[in-house]
């Protein structure tokens, strides 16, 4: 088994989560993370980052904008 350092493991995380890593690399990474409290913590926060930002940046389209968009598009088409 090759020894994965934290730094090289971090660079594989996206590929790991996307399922695009070769099986042996994947196994090496998993065993490193399992034995490394720092990487375990890092992976947890790396995985949470998209969700936190997705929820924090969620916006609802203002209802009046829905009507004004259709009005605007109709006015431009009829010119």
Q: Footprint of other proteins on this chain (CB under 8 A)?
A: 5-8, 10-11, 13-15, 18, 20, 37-42, 44-46, 48-50, 52-54, 56-61, 65-66, 69-70, 72-73, 76-77
Nearest distance from C-beta of residue 27 to other proteins, angstroms = 19
Q: How far is CA 35 from CA 16, 30, 77, in A?
A: 17, 9, 63
Considering the complex, state which of residue 31 and residue 53 has its C-beta at the smaller distance from other proteins: 53
Smallest gap from residue 70 Cβ to other proteins (A): 6
Instruction: Judge whether 6 and 36 are in contact, CB under 8 Å.
Output: yes
Q: How far apart are CA 79 and CA 68, in angstroms?
A: 17
């Amino acid at each position: 088994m090759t020894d994965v350092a934290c730094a090289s493991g971090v660079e594989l995380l996206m590929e790991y989560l996307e399922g695009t890593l070769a099986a042996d690399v994947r196994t090496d990474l998993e065993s490193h993370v399992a034995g490394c409290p720092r990487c375990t913590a890092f992976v947890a926060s790396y995985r949470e980052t998209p969700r936190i930002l997705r929820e924090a940046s969620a916006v609802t389209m203002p209802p009046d904008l829905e009507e004004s968009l259709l009005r605007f598009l109709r006015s431009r088409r009829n010119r």
